[in-house]
Amino acid sequence: NLCTPSLKLLHNILLSTTMSDSAATKRPASATNGFIKHDNDDHQDTKRARLAQIVQDQQLLASQSIPTPHTPKVIQTVRLPDALRKKILITGGAGFVGSHLTDRLMSEGHEVVVLDNFFTGRKANVEHWLHHPNFSLIRHDVIQPILLEVDQIYHLACPASPPHYQYNPVKTIKTSTMGTINMLGLAKRVKARILLASTSEIYGDPEVHPQPETYWGNVNTLGPRSCYDEGKRVAETMMYAYKNQNDVSIRIARIFNTFGPRMHPNDGRVVSNFIIQSLQNKNITIYGDGSQTRSFQYVDDLVNGLTKLMNGNYDSPVNLGNPDEYSIKDFATKIKEFTQSSSEIKFLPKVADDPTQRKPDISTAKRELDWAPCVHVEDGLRKTIKYFRGEVEAAGEIVPTGPDAAKPKGGS
């Protein structure tokens, strides 16, 4: 059991502290070789040894994550000198992408402050860091201002799946606008660099393929997806307004479809739905004829791109995605094969404003960041299927979310 060693350390610390606090009673004296020796002296030696063990255990706990059922792998952390260690804020840090970014920054020895309102984020995604002295978790909504002292801000907060961001479109718009203003105000006050997690959705249903950063997009401003698409577009505008007017250091990542462990099982997106349906031998539902295309990148590649962008010198928008393109029908077939499922593929009516094609031009990322995806889609799918198999076994049954607006289900 991977969880056993570290959990025993926590148990020993609590047990030892309790025993040390409660053992205050002196024992009778005893005679040894003509000298009087108090049993209390033995007790003091035992107490000192126990406290030394507590310190040793705490030092170990400060050097790694605690394995949990959700994140069983132990992640080691390095100890950075004060001059190199940054205090980094991640809004939406308990979400899918944010939690993986947290792992990366914690492993590098930085102090990480995760801020999340847990609308789609899950505490289980970051609970393996709760004991660590470099980690802080704040339940907070970015549409409300907050005062913190940080060096960098990764602004990831916002529901990213269509059913979730359409559930409360006004709140989605507020998150992208008011939330971004609040984070920009914080960055301005403390002179922190801020990275905005923008989206390929700003390109809408593109008429240019693949999509370079210079493409202005083809977005329906009144459609069901516009609360997210237009919210991110105005967020980018605000980033550049603060840069030009207030000299705030900014970075913008336009993120394309991303998948991997810790995706919300009810987010209603292609990868999670297809895998959950396949694992349960339920019908795999495709909205439309399946000819629409998407490009999928594994989450580790995205995290690499985000950190390279944050710490690089390029401050124009950058596409981060995998240019390998799949039709939705072919992707469903691939997942069915990987899961050895008996599911049937069913075609349902197309969703409004669903883009017909999506593929990033990553020339800028290659040139400016020396970045390109390294994880092959098939390798990433195997890891993701393994993760969701555990989710299905733990839940007993998971009902995938359809294309309509829906509140996230399940606990944190």
Residues labelled catalytic: 228
The conformation of residue 58, written as its DSSP 8-state character, comes to: H
- The encoded tokens of residue 159 equal 């529901």
Which DSSP symbol is given to 366?
I
Residue 73 φ/ψ region, left for φ over 0, alpha for ψ in the -120 to 50 degree band, beta for the rest: beta
- Rounded Cα–Cα distance for residues 328 and 47 (Å): 64
* Kind plus residue range of the DSSP H or E element containing 330: helix 328-339
**What whole-number distance in Å separates Cα of residue 410 and Cα of residue 390?**
15
Q: How far apart are CA 60 and CA 137, in angstroms?
A: 21
Task: Give the DSSP H or E segment for 259.
Answer: strand 258-259
Q: CA angle 51-79-137, nearest 5°? A: 80
Residue 2: what are its φ and ψ, rounded to 5°?
-65, -25
- Considering just the CA atoms, what is the radius of gyration of the chain in Å? 25
What does each C-alpha distance from 77 to 54, 64, 106, 308 come to in angstroms? 19, 5, 6, 19
For residue 298, the tally of other CB atoms under 10 A from its CB is 22
First to last CA, the chain: 23
Residue 217 contacts residue 202 (beta carbons within 8 Å): yes
What residues form DSSP beta bridges with 394? none
> Virtual CA dihedral for 363, 364, 365, 366, nearest 10 degrees?
50
